[in-house]
Structure 1
Amino acid sequence: MKKHRLSIKAKKRLIAVLGTVVVLVLAVVIGGNLYIDSILNKMNQKDAISKEQGGVSEESLSLEERYNVINIALLGADGTENDTSHRTDVMKIISLDFNNDKITISSIQRDNLVYIPGIDDYNNFNEAYSSGGVESALQTLNYNLDLDITRYVLFDFNSVPKIVDLLGGVSLSLSAAEAGQIGLSGGGVYTLNGKQALEYSRIRNLDSDYGRMNRQNQVILAIVDQFKSRSPFELLDIVNQVMPYIETNVSNSEIKRFAMNLLSFDLGNITQLQFPENGYEDIEATVPIGNTSIHYILKDFQGNVAMLHEHIYGVKNYQVSDRLDASIKRMRELYLPY
């Protein structure tokens, strides 16, 4: 069989064409990367928090490496890092499980009585932020839940209406009582605008704080559903407008890496857990501290931490660390002396 050989001139042309294609591809990749970075840079980006700064215990140091799970604290406050007089009424742990391609959400009840390392005293979970900002909030979550959180996303409540309106509203099923609280008539499925979605997630007087946590979760999941139906260009436009409302210490490179991995995740099957698991049934006593009496002592704090670790890591029969066990016993001695 006769073989055809390219002339030197043809080879030069081919090399020039291939070179041009490579340059164009690199330009698109680099240009796209720079564009994404320009969007992400609109966030209020903070420095990384070390394991030591986050108060991660010796027992929890290797959790991320052992289970390939990244925990990110999602904190919602009416203030920002520069205004820590506000409390974090939203405290959630978003866990990215890269071994099993799944996301879990853990909602932390704000009024659980816990040890706050920053003040060396006991108070509610949501008081940690007002006493020392994000670092104090992460230390408190890690200390009382045996976790390893050093990454966080902090959002201003003012961002919720903006995000929802950019998405064209979110679809939620409301009871008649919930609908009445936000100016609607009768129960049913509604498409809520941003203002209504925020009012819905803040309803306080219908049931309990656990009901309120569930409503917050429903808004988050409804937003996720809306995001899933958008094209990449629409998403970039929405993200571009939302970024100024967000503060985080997750780096641009990590965000892009997580985003690529999430393409293989089952975003339609996000599992959720509230802490404590059974709401008011898990509360043994309400004790007064300061000017308010809304401080909950759990019947089985250790058992709920074990349930949380099973939810996040798939670990059964988890035994809490010695420091947490001692802290829980000390709290009970101080506030349940009978």
Structure 2
Amino acid sequence: MNDKKKSVIKNRRNPGSKKTSNTNPRPDTRPLKTIKSETKAKPKSKQSKTKPVILPDPLPKKKKKSNGFVKKFFRTILLIIIFLMATAFAVNAFFLGNVTSDLKGNLSKYGISSEAANFAKQHKIVNVAVFGVDGRDDVEGDRTDTIMIATADYEHSKVKVASLMRDTYVYIDKKYEYDKLNAAYAYGGPDLALKTINQNFDTTITDYVTIDFNAMVSMVNAVGGVTIDIETDEELEWVNEYLMDVNEKVETGSPFLEETGPQTVDGSQALAYCRVRYVGDGDFDRTLRQRVVFEQVLSKALDLDLQEQYNLVMATLPYVETSLSTLEMLKYGANLALMPSKDIEQSRFPTDDLISLDMLDGVSYVVPNTLAENIEAFYQFVYETDYTPSDTALEISDEIKTAVKGTSNSSGSDVEELSY
């Protein structure tokens, strides 16, 4: 066997030698580090070989994660909406749900009839009595020069002011029987005054605000004055006459008004204007002047910012007595501020077409003709709906009608005699 054949046979018997001989011709060009890492991570290499098989699995997981985020987002939005709705409901319940919360229990102390109470409970309307008293040291007793009912109508988003004529012939109680409306405050303070108003006008008022001269001056000054219209020279003369008294009692130095016509006045001048009662139609025009000033003060107060409103409250608080708690004032004030319209509707009771001027025992009175019809007119103004007066109110109406029967005198010449 020649040497060439021997070499071939030898290579077949020793295949390892062939492998060894092939190592040098075809060297491994991979980095040593990669070789070592693959060697050490042999178990992981098996997993890496199966990666292409399980690649579709992570994709659905990412999709599920995305869906979870969307669901969580919408769930959060839904919770926020529910929270806002619940908050709105709670605010509504707090501010408006209990506006008639005082109309329960023993209402006789307020002179409120059960018919009126049941009617008021069905509405979101608040009525507060406003008394303007003389309050001067040289005046015996507290005479209510101003008697108003301020209404926050949350059903129709309105603010209303109703003047009650102070010389109205009304029933007070068993002790004082029938007298002028403003006598009730002098006899028994705000409690008896509230009771008298409720009995005669079939109202459901449980709260009041009493202000004196100083409060009126401070309120007008705090809102930057009000605009009045002096129509005649006689009215101008009387305003300046009252201004001298106001300056002395309230310790101010406001100048006299010099001309007729529309003009902006300060607190003392406005108060003097409100007190005039010997010009025109006496107490009729007097209540109109008071409403004009009060309406402007209230309207301007609602337009003030929070700091200015706070200053107004602090300026008048020392001269104001009220049955309202701080929480109630904040509650009603917040709702008034949120009303879309700041316009104020006003009226006077007894109304022009349901009134007569009569003399009883030598004293002039404003007589409701009839009281029952005036009650119906009042409810139309405040609640904007029909109302049937209670049995108690109808009884008082009949007694007033009987007392003045045959003495009615609607002549305007008697108007000036109505004021003290």
TM-score range, shorter chain: 0.7 to 0.9
SS at match of 2:338: coil
Separation (CA, whole Å) in 1 of partners of 2:140 and 2:382: 29
- Which stretch shows the higher mean deviation, 105-114 or 51-60? 51-60
SS at match of 1:111: coil
Q: Which runs of 5+ in 1 are unaligned?
A: 4-48
* Sequence identity (%): 28
CA contact (8 A) 1:119 1:131 kept: no
Partner of 2:111: 55
Residue from 339, 344, 347 that aligns with 1:273: 347
2:369 to 299, 312, 315: 299
User: Per-residue CA shift, 1:251-280, capped at 9, x if unaligned?
Assistant: 1111111111112224532111100121xx
The residue type equivalent to 1:204 in the other structure is: R
Q: Distance in 2 between matches of 1:260 and 1:195?
A: 29
In the alignment, which residue of structure 2 is the partner of 1:232?
Answer: 306
Equivalent of 2:327 in 242, 253, 257: 253
Please tell me whether Structure 1 or Structure 2 has the larger radius of gyration of its CA atoms: 2
Out of 279, 286, 289, the position equivalent to 1:215 is: 289
1:206 equivalent among 279, 303, 309: 279
CA 1:259–1:147 in 2, change beyond 3 Å: closer, same or farther? same
Aligned with residue 356 of structure 2, among 259, 276, 284: 284
What code does the residue aligned with 2:259 have?
Answer: G
Q: How does 1:1-338 map to 2 (within 5 A)?
A: 51-79=107-135, 85-117=141-173, 119=175, 121-177=177-233, 178-183=235-240, 184-207=257-280, 208-278=282-352, 282-289=354-361, 293-316=363-386, 318-336=387-405
Contact 1:104-1:272 at 8 Å conserved across structures: yes
Find the aligned partners of 1:296 and 1:225 in 2 and give their Cα distance: 30
Q: Which has the higher helix share?
A: 2
TM-score where L is the length of structure 2: 0.63
CA RMSD after TM alignment: 2.5
Query: Structure 2: 5+ residue runs without aligned partners?
Result: 1-61, 66-104, 241-256, 408-420
Shift of 1:186: 3.3
Deviations 1:158-198 (A, max 9, x none): 21112222333222233134334334333322110111100
Taking the aligned partners of 1:140 and 1:240, their CA distance within structure 2 comes to: 31
CA distance in 2, matches of 1:143, 1:69: 19
Residues 284 and 223 of structure 1: is their aligned pair in 2 closer, same or farther, counting only changes over 3 Å? closer
Specify the code of the residue in structure 2 equivalent to 1:303.
E
Whether contact under 8 Å (1:175, 1:186) holds in the other structure is no
Paired residues of 1:174 and 1:187 also in contact (CA < 8 A) = yes
Say which structure, 1 or 2, has more relative contact order (CA 8 Å, 6+ apart): 1
TM-score, L = length of structure 1: 0.78
> Partners in 2 of 1:324 and 1:62 — Cα distance?
15
Task: Report SS of the residue matched to 1:67.
Answer: coil
